[in-house]
Homo-oligomer: A and B are copies of this chain.
Amino acid sequence: MPFEITNELIEQVKGYIQQEDDKAILAVLKDEHHADIAELLDELQLDEATYIIKLLESDKTSDVLMELDDDIREKILKNLSAKEIAEELEELDTDDAADMIAELPEERQERVISHIEDEAHVKDIVELLKYDENTAGGLMAKELVKVNENWDVLKCVREMRAQAENVTRVHSIYVVDNDNKLKGRLSLKDLLVTPTKAHISEVYIPKVDAVNVNDDVEDVALVMQKYDLEAIPVVDDENHLLGRITIDDIVDVIKEEAEKDYQLAAGITEDVEADDTIWQLTRARLPWLLIGMLGGIGAASIINGFQVILSKYVELIIFIPLIQATAGNVGVQSSAIVVQGLANNTIKGEIIHRLFKEFLLGLVNGLALAIIIFIVSKLVFHTEIHISFTIGIALITVIVNAALVGTFIPIFLDKRGIDPAVATGPFITTTNDVFGILIYFLIAKVVLGI
């Protein structure tokens, strides 16, 4: 069902642009969804994409612009005049308009705003610009349908029709008092079956979920998910109705959060895609490799410090990779569970209980692996019994340690207000690599008595 962006289509459109055959371009794009047009523009050269943006009506291009990748949008906006951008902004909902303006250089923002004719729209956008993008205020739109508790159903329907003109999708009708304080909601369905003379105050539902304008967007996402909401009103500390957040924006938040966490766990700093340039990808990846390298240098120093023991028991060398890999793997597992638990608010109780559980878990897993490696080292590598013993004991200790470190670091970061997801991936792995090797040689020293 979705529109396919084929190579033929791309070539066809490129040809039309070269011939400046505007009619043909309009004919091809007439019925297409703005998300599809945005996908097509992604495949074109910058000047070709700009050509199409200037050609189409702003009620369509404004939505297309919002769907584009940030970096492509930024480049296209550079090619548009302040007046042209203002025309796009007039068509957008306040939340999208504010997001688009926020991406412009500061001195350009003012020029663009001065070209917007609708004063109420400007006022709303300027208000939204002042909220942090990670708060409910930064995500909400000013467009919503609200009615006064003192109206009757007839007036309410009349007012609603007028307001609905500006609102893409009506989810709930919010009920406010004379002071614009949120009192409750009406559902469209209820309104369909209520006599027209009834007073709103008699029929509205006084229970309505709302979020504070300063709430973190991730918390808003959790609330909307938990209660299966499609829209939620946003209020200030005095319960004045300021705006609303819709589920499509929350879907984007959930998706972006998940991708960010996934990338951090893999050692990639935020928001790169497969088709970014080698330079962008290097910038996102190299710092984490440097952290890993630092760990490697640390490990090298540790091994260097245990030259005496290594020269006497060379078999210890061959198990270095095993110790290191296991430490890394266990640490990543433990931290992943904690990071997800923190994100979903399912980590309850005291840290100490959590650590004790990981301790037990490490002991169970460590014992299982230690028994295997004890047997393998004896049978396959014919190590002496006290070397096999050393490796087994070291493995258990390393696993328990890695589980505790992997659990503790994210919880600690979270308590300090730092996103615990940064702790997963290379950071935890590297820490555990170094600890692992150190523990290995210390235990060897104790067991083998050197």
Contacts and interface: CB of A to CB of B under 8 A. Distances in A.
A225 B297 contact: no
A189 B210 contact: no
Interface centre among A170, A290, A292, A426 (most CB of B within 10 A): A292
A2 interface: yes
Contacts of A281: 337, 361
A326 B275 contact: no
A217 to B, nearest CB: 14
Contact of A319 (B248, B278, B300, B364): B300
Interface in A234-257: 247-248, 250-252, 254-255
A385 interface: no
Interface string A259-278: 10111011110001111001
A285 interface: yes
B354 A274 contact: yes
A263 B364 contact: no
Contacts of A390: none
B254 A223 contact: no
B247 A230 contact: yes
A430 B33 CA distance: 45
A369 B293 contact: yes
Contacts of A416: none
A209 interface: yes
Contacts of A258: 254-255, 258-259, 261-262
Given A1-B211, A228-B248, A348 B275 contact: yes
B230 A169 contact: yes
A263 B340 contact: yes
A50 interface: no
B318 A2 contact: no
A369 B289 contact: yes
Interface stretch (A70-78, A103-111, A328-336): A328-336
Given A341-B274, A425-B332, A189 B207 contact: no
Interface residues of A, number: 113
A443 interface: no
A62 interface: no
A290 B365 CA distance: 10
Given A247-B230, A267-B332, A325 B296 contact: yes
A317 B313 CA distance: 13
Given A293-B326, A304-B381, 19 more contacts: A2-B209, A2-B227, A161-B192, A164-B189, A170-B188, A230-B248, A247-B248, A266-B337, A268-B336, A278-B364, A285-B361, A292-B329, A293-B322, A295-B321, A295-B322, A296-B323, A296-B326, A297-B373, A310-B314
Interface of A: 1-2, 31, 33, 35, 157, 161, 164, 169-170, 188-189, 192-193, 207, 209-212, 223, 225-228, 230, 247-248, 250-252, 254-255, 258-259, 261-263, 265-268, 272-275, 278, 281-282, 285-286, 288-290, 292-293, 295-297, 299-301, 303-304, 307, 310-311, 314, 317-326, 328-330, 332-333, 335-338, 340-341, 344, 346-348, 354, 357, 360-361, 364-365, 368-369, 372-373, 376, 380-381, 399, 424-426, 429-430, 433, 437
